[in-house]
A = this chain, B = another copy of it.
């Protein structure tokens, strides 16, 4: 296997919009895409394999497995406006050359399906602290898209020189090249590998964008569990810090893991 390849069923789409949620900072892309897939009961219609992915199979239940892949799911819009396509997967390409190859192939495939708009979901990390009330940041391909993002409550990123790594950034760049309006929507995050709180605020923006009312109970539950765990960790840590501080060995400031 020498080339990236997408296997797919032919389906006629109505002005489809693509949401991309691949593994990355805070797992926000993955959380959002998996949530959308489940709540919309979206159905798989395409699978992307690539020699630039990790060389692994993923074990499933009862002896089943799958080769590492990215997978496309679709939801037919009952209102006849915009069908929704969701891209999620096990991994991103491992090499620079793989990233350039796979991410452009994703955009070309979506274009061939008649794609109208692309949103990639990512995390935006400013430090090692849990973010209790995360903002949603965005970058976009054109004026119209940026104005639209602002109306949805997205804060336009203003971090000249900082970069967005991997698919979340590259797919937006290749969308621009192929003249598809696109944006990268990033939940503010920190500390956590899996940040349900940040994913939730991104989902709220998406709900607003789509004029839909996707249920958020599951992500809310995950958020609750995470914060309970963090609270316990914070309590335990604070206890441990005090004696050290008393002995003059502690940090100068109280540690705050939650803000």
CB distance from A193 to the nearest CB of B (A): 14
Bound: A149/B94 CA distance, A: 34
Question: Which A residues, 168 to 191, have Cβ-Cβ distances below 8 Å to chain B?
Answer: 169-170, 172-174, 184
CB distance from A120 to the nearest CB of B (A): 10
Chain B residues whose C-beta falls within 8 Å of the C-beta of A98 in the assembled complex: 96
Is A58 engaged at the interface, CB distance under 8 Å to the other chain? Answer: yes
A binding-site residues for B, Cβ under 8 Å: 1-2, 51-68, 94-101, 103-104, 138-140, 146, 149, 156-166, 169-170, 172-174, 184
Q: Do A158 and B51 touch across chains, with their CB atoms under 8 A apart? A: no
Chain B residues whose C-beta falls within 8 Å of the C-beta of A139 in the assembled complex: 57, 59, 63-65
Bound: A169/B158 CA distance, A: 35
Question: Which residue from B51, B68, B149 sits with its C-beta under 8 Å from A101?
Answer: B51
Chain B residues whose C-beta falls within 8 Å of the C-beta of A163 in the assembled complex: 54, 56-59, 68
Bound: A56/B95 CA distance, A: 12
Bound: A98/B97 CA distance, A: 9
Question: Which residue from B55, B59, B157, B169 sits with its C-beta under 8 Å from A63?
Answer: B157
Give 7 A-B pairs besides A51-B96, A59-B157 with Cβ atoms closer than 8 angstroms.
A1-B101, A57-B184, A63-B140, A64-B140, A65-B157, A67-B170, A94-B96
Q: Do A59 and B164 touch across chains, with their CB atoms under 8 A apart? A: yes
| Sample (22) of A-B pairs whose CB atoms are under 8 Å apart | A52-B97, A54-B165, A55-B99, A57-B163, A57-B169, A57-B172, A59-B158, A59-B159, A59-B161, A59-B163, A59-B164, A61-B160, A62-B156, A62-B158, A63-B149, A63-B158, A64-B146, A65-B139, A65-B157, A65-B172, A65-B184, A95-B97
Bound: A156/B172 CA distance, A: 41
Chain B residues whose C-beta falls within 8 Å of the C-beta of A146 in the assembled complex: 62-64
Question: Which residue from B63, B65, B97 sits with its C-beta under 8 Å from A173?
Answer: B65
CB distance from A170 to the nearest CB of B (A): 6
Q: Do A170 and B55 touch across chains, with their CB atoms under 8 A apart? A: yes
Closest to A167 in B: B55
The 5 closest A-B pairs by CB, nearest first: A63-B156, A55-B99, A51-B100, A57-B169, A56-B163
